[in-house]
Structure 1
Amino acid sequence: MHTIGRRRGAALAAAVVLLVLATVLANRFLPGWAYPLNGLVATACLLGVARWAGLGLAEVGLDRRFARRAALVGAVGVVVVGAVFGAALLVPAWREVFHDGRVVVDGVGALLWVVLVRIPLGTVLLEEVAFRGVLPALLGAGERWRWGPVLGASALFGLWHILPSLALRENAAVDALLGDAPVLVTVASAVVASAVAGVGLHWCRHVGRGVLAPVLVHLATNCGGVLAAWWVLHA
C-alpha cells in the first residue's frame, strides 16, 4: 500500500508538471497548427502516467461498459447548453456575450478546423482526460462522490486557465464588466469560474460514469460558443 501511495504521489506530481508544460507550450510557443498535436501528445502522456500509477480504465473514466450511459448524460447536457445559447441569441442584449475578438476565423474552412479539430483534440480531449479522469483518480476519487479529489482537480482546472484568461478582455461582455479592473482581477475571476465549471463537469462525469459525458458538454460549450460568435459577428 505504501508503495502504491508513493507511486501515485509521484504520478500526480508528474501529471501536474506535464500539464504546466503543455499549457505554456500551447499558449506561448507553439504555432496554431500544432495546438491539437500538443493536446494529443499530452493526453497520451497523462494516460501513460496513469497506467504507471496502476490506474485502470474505469478509474480514469474510460470504461466502455458505461459508454452508453455517459453518452446519454452528455446528450442531456448538450441540449441544456444549446437551449442557453439559443436563448442568448434570441435576446439582443445578451448577444454581447458572443462579441469576442478571439473568434477571428476567416472562411468556413477555418471555422471547421477550429470546431472539428482544434477544440476537440487540443482543448476538450486533454482537459477532460486530465481534470475529470486522471487527476481525480490520482487524488483518490472512487465511484462515490468525494469532495477532496473533486475540488482538488477543479482547483487545478481553474489554475490551468491562467494563461488563456489574459485574452479574456477581447470578449465585449467581459470587457464591459471588468474593463477597468486590474488584470489580476480578470485572471482571478477566470480561475474561480473555471474551477466552478470543473465541479459541474465532474458531476457529469460522476453521473455518466465516464469522461464521455463531460466531453460532450464541453464540446457543446466551446464549439457552440465559437459557432454562435461567428454567426453573430458575420450576420
Structure 2
Amino acid sequence: MSWTLRRLSALVAAVVTLAASTTLANRVLPGWAYPVCGLVAALVLVGLGRFAGCTWTDLGLSRLRRPALAGLAGAGLVAVVFGIALAVPALRTVYQDGRVGDPDLGQLLWLTCGRILFGTVLIEEVAFRGVLPGLFGATDDRWRWPPILWSAALFGLWHALPALAIGRNAAVHAVFGSTPVVVLQVLAMAAAGVAGIFLHWWRHLGRGVLASVIVHFTTNAGGLTLAVLVR
C-alpha cells in the first residue's frame, strides 16, 4: 500500500475523531446522547474513508447477504457459549456485574438497542473493522496481519476509559482481587485488542462489517441481558 497525503490525513483525522468520541461519550455527554455520538462518529469515519479513496468494499460496507449469514452463524456460537456458562454454576459469576444495575424492561431495551447497538457496536465495528483496516490497507481477498494488528491495537486503546470499571465484574474481582486498577485497565485493553482480532476474523469470513456487527451485538447485548436475568 502506498501512503498518500490524503490517506495519512484521513487516518490522523479518524484517530482524533475516535479520541474525541470516546471522551465525549464517557466523560461529557448525558446518557441519552451516547448512541447519537456513536452514530455521528461512525458517519464521519465513513466519510473520511471515502475521502481517502477507500471503496465500499475496502470499508466492508458493500455486501449484506454473506456478512449476515456469517454473523448469524457467529451469533449461534456465542449463544452456545452463553448457554454453557449458564449451565455451569461456577461460571455464573461472569454475569455478576456491578455495572448492570437493576433495569426494567424499557431500560433494558434502551441499553441493548440504543446504547449498545448505536453507541458501542456500530461505531466500533465501522471504525475498527471497517475504516481503520481499510486505511491501513486490509483487503477481503487475503488476511493481512499488519493492518489488522494496528486496528486491534487502537481498539484496545479505545477501551481505556471503559476499562476503569472492569473490576466491578464479580468474575474479574474473584480472579484478580486487589490488583491495582491501572493493571486491570491494561489487561482489559489487551483483552479488547485480542477480541478485535477475533471480530475482524468474522468480518473477513463474511466479507463485510455486518458479520462482526452481529457477533459483537449478540455478545454485548446477550451478556447484559443474562446479567440482568441471573443477578
Shorter-chain TM-score category? Answer: over 0.9
Q: Which residue of 1 aligns with 2:44?
A: 45
Q: Return the offset for 1:106.
A: 2.5
Q: Give the SS at the match of 2:218.
A: helix
Selected match of 2:202 from 194, 201, 204: 204
Q: Which residue of 2 aligns with 1:14?
A: 13
Q: Which residue of 2 aligns with 1:89?
A: 86
Selected match of 1:146 from 125, 144, 158: 144
- Give the fraction of aligned pairs with identical amino acids, expressed as a percent: 56
The C-alpha deviation readout for 1:87-118, integer Å capped at 9, x for no partner, is 11111111101000111143110001111111
CA distance in 2, matches of 1:212, 1:142: 16
Selected match of 1:134 from 124, 131, 134: 131
Q: Which residue of 2 aligns with 1:224?
A: 222
- Structure 2 letter corresponding to 1:90: A
Q: Give the SS at the match of 2:103.
A: coil
- Structure 2 letter corresponding to 1:117: G
CA distance in 2, matches of 1:175, 1:35: 27
CA distance in 2, matches of 1:200, 1:209: 14
Selected match of 1:72 from 47, 57, 69: 69
- Structure 1 letter corresponding to 2:175: L
Contact 1:27 1:163 (8 Å CA) reproduced: yes
Contact 1:22 1:38 (8 Å CA) reproduced: yes
Contact 1:39 1:122 (8 Å CA) reproduced: yes
Q: Which residue of 2 aligns with 1:115?
A: 112
CA distance in 1, matches of 2:50, 2:59: 10
- Structure 1 letter corresponding to 2:166: L
Q: Which residue of 1 aligns with 2:121?
A: 124
- Structure 2 letter corresponding to 1:60: L
Contact 1:105 1:111 (8 Å CA) reproduced: no
CA distance in 2, matches of 1:145, 1:107: 43
CA distance in 2, matches of 1:10, 1:218: 29
Contact 1:165 1:190 (8 Å CA) reproduced: yes
Give unmatched runs, 5+ long, in structure 2.
none
CA distance in 1, matches of 2:52, 2:214: 27
Give unmatched runs, 5+ long, in structure 1.
none
Q: Which residue of 2 aligns with 1:169?
A: 167
Q: Which residue of 1 aligns with 2:181?
A: 183
Q: Return the offset for 1:54.
A: 1.3
Matched residues, number:
230
Contact 1:61 1:211 (8 Å CA) reproduced: yes
Instruction: Please tell me whether residue 98 in structure 1 is matched to residue 95 in structure 2.
Output: yes
Q: Structure 1 residue runs of 4+, over 4 Å off?
A: none
CA distance in 1, matches of 2:102, 2:126: 27
Q: CA RMSD in A?
A: 1.2
CA distance in 1, matches of 2:161, 2:192: 13
Q: TM-score, normalised by structure 1?
A: 0.95
Q: Return the offset for 1:173.
A: 0.7
